[in-house]
Amino acid sequence: MTVKRCFDLVVSISALIIFFPVLVGVAIAIHKKMGGGIFFIQRRPGLNGKPFNILKFKTMSDAKDEHGNLLPDSQRLSKFGKILRSTSLDELPELINVIFGDMSLVGPRPLLMQYLPLYSPEQASRHDVLPGITGWAQVNGRNAISWEDKFKFDVWYVDNHNLWLDIKILYLTVARVFKREGISQPGQATTKYFMGNTNEDKSR
């Protein structure tokens, strides 16, 4: 077992114990305010692009239009959901992903499966390490920066990661959470879809 893996396990297990009352409180609030399921579960690419199920707290309602299609994100994202995202409380269940070995505390954020064929070879190297709850891109702008810049930060992390850098990123993450910076792109509920290296216009 590597030092990084030991560090991930110790911190994740400790955090789950410390934040257990918060997890329970958030779960109850989600059930009361949004109804339905408590968690958002979605297939995401992990190490070497291998799919896994990411676990997050739900921040959007399941509201649909008259045809049974989900409404746009901006209409389904509730005020409570915005609070969860701005405080990163929706990410806490990912500690379970870290314990299971699907994620690390620090690494490139796991994005959508449909992005895999759109990456350049350099961008695809972000999957050479485990995805993280937070990462170098997150402490350098999070969702407020362009996809191009985000991937450059991810690749830089892959080439330079070490335990001390992880500790620095975790410290900076806490600072960013308190400042609530970079939560979404201007004019977007979250961020835009990645459409490849020539088109980044479609909203997410």
Q: What is the per-residue pLDDT for 121? A: 94
In what helix (H) or strand (E) does residue 14 lie, and over which residues does it extend?
helix 3-18
The predicted-structure confidence for 139-165, as pLDDT tens digits, reads as follows: 998 777 889 999 999 999 999 999 999
Res 189 pLDDT > 60:
no
pLDDT at site 199: 45
Provide the 8-state DSSP code for 65: -
Report strand pairing: 51-57 vs 39-45: antiparallel
**What are the tens digits of pLDDT across the range 8-50?**
999 999 999 999 999 999 999 998 888 778 999 999 999 999 9
